[in-house]
Amino acid sequence: LTSVFEKVAAITNIRDALKLTPLSPWAAYGIDRSLANHSHIRVDIRAPVEFRITGLKKEKLPAPEPVIFIQGSRVTPEAAKELMAFLIGKMREIKEVSLNIEDPDLTVFNSLVDQLISAGECGGFYGPANKGTKIRTIVVAENVKLEVLRVKRRKGGQTIPKVSELIVANATTLRVIGRVGLSEALVLNSTMHLERLSLMTFDLGFDASLSSIYDHLLEIARSGVTFKHLSYTSFVGFDPTDDVVQTFLDRCQVGSLRLTMMRGPYIPPQPDYMVGKVRRVNHVELGEVVEKPNIFNSLVTYESVFKKVFPNVQDIHYFQHW
């Protein structure tokens, strides 16, 4: 019976799972054990609701209403902090965190990430609605040892400092970092040897200059960090013939590339493409962002350039995003 409740807690949202705890001691034990064995925290802060539909009318709210989900359950900003403290206190080891931020106001987001970074004293969470008892929980974040950090954002031109702080706090354990901005990745250092790193330029804004992007790439290259796989998303095309790009790939010991771009790079005419070779890279994927699916991927026209720069790449894989 305990294993049944443990499995239920693993597949349902956290609020519904906690409502089952008063059913029996077996339910409470099974759910508690499920939480202890779970190692992934999901935080989803969506764009706030500004309007409410009443009948056939669309009415503007006096103040935007936050939309916050933790572990699949919608909570208020106050309850979000309590739930985060509860999860940190219950989970034996937190290895993975997924963060989605669509609200330009980072107040709630920052407070939740702070709980992952530092120790603190917080209130506990509740059981079923109107029946749960408040518990006091001392949260010591020694069990937060992230191996995987994934970030999604909606707003361009916004750097999120707390993401950098979370990376620094878990520098010795992180193996996968997903979709962080170039400015946030400047905290990477020589103690970090990642399996996968996903970088994007959206934090620099839609009109980020190529020189600004290259300054950030050089700073990351000088940091001493290494990563086997690089996913790179940018409005500006990724030019494999550029010295800065090649230095970045060499120093960071990149072995495979997945590039997503709004448009292909401008590559100045060069006789026989007499450029440096990056021999460590053996796998390349080129992705094009389009309004709707197209039969022809325009990045195919760059295949000969990429194969000259990366001589150990046999086949280039193409894909589209829309």
DSSP state letter for 186: G
C-alpha dist (Å) from residue 205 to 6, 93, 183, 202, 291: 45, 36, 11, 5, 20
Residue 66: pLDDT band (50, 70, 90) is very high
User: Long-range contacts made by residues 213-218, C-beta under 8 angstroms, separation at least 24?
Assistant: 213/182, 214/242, 214/244, 214/245, 216/182, 216/183, 216/185, 216/186, 217/182, 217/244, 217/245, 217/248, 218/244, 218/247, 218/248
Residue 31 lies in a domain: yes
Predicted pLDDT at 279: 94
CA distance 229 to 220: 15
pLDDT higher than threshold 90 for residue 95: yes
CA distance 167 to 172: 9
Predicted pLDDT at 140: 42
Residue 14 lies in a domain: yes
Residue 64 lies in a domain: no
* Three-class SS state of 7: helix
Residue 224: pLDDT band (50, 70, 90) is very high
User: Over the chain, what is the mean pLDDT?
Assistant: 87
Residue 174 · residue 146 · CB < 8 Å:
yes
Predicted pLDDT at 130: 34
CA distance 187 to 18: 38
**188-192, 199-203, 225-229, 264-268: lowest mean pLDDT where?**
264-268
* Three-class SS state of 214: helix
More confident residue, 296 or 216: 216
CA distance 183 to 86: 32
Q: For the purposes of burial, counting CB atoms within 10 Å of the CB of 209, is it exposed (0-12), middle (13-18) or buried (19 or more)?
A: exposed
Residue 156 lies in a domain: no
Predicted pLDDT at 133: 33
Supply the DSSP string of 239-266, one letter for each residue. Answer: -TTSHHHHHHHHHTT--EEEEEESSPPP
Predicted pLDDT at 275: 65
Predicted pLDDT at 56: 81
pTM of the full predicted structure?
0.86
More confident residue, 313 or 139: 313
Structural domain total, the chain = 1
Residue 26: pLDDT band (50, 70, 90) is confident
pLDDT higher than threshold 90 for residue 27: no
What is the number of alpha carbons within 13 Å of residue 89 lying toward its C-beta? 17
End-to-end CA separation in angstroms for the chain: 46
Residue 29 lies in a domain: yes
Residue 2 lies in a domain: yes
Kindly state the percentage of the chain with pLDDT values over 70. 90
Predicted pLDDT at 237: 84
Predicted pLDDT at 198: 98
Give tens-digit pLDDT for 228-284: 999 999 988 899 999 999 999 999 999 999 999 988 888 877 645 556 789 999 999
Residues whose CB is less than 8 angstroms from the CB of residue 279 and which lie 6 or more positions away in sequence, other chains included:
310, 311, 312
| Residue 2 structural domain | 1-37
pLDDT higher than threshold 60 for residue 289: yes
More confident residue, 56 or 58: 58
Residue 17 lies in a domain: yes
Tokens of 38: 């779970």
Residue 10 lies in a domain: yes
Residue 322: pLDDT band (50, 70, 90) is confident
Predicted pLDDT at 18: 81
Question: Which one-letter amino acid corresponds to residue 305?
Answer: V
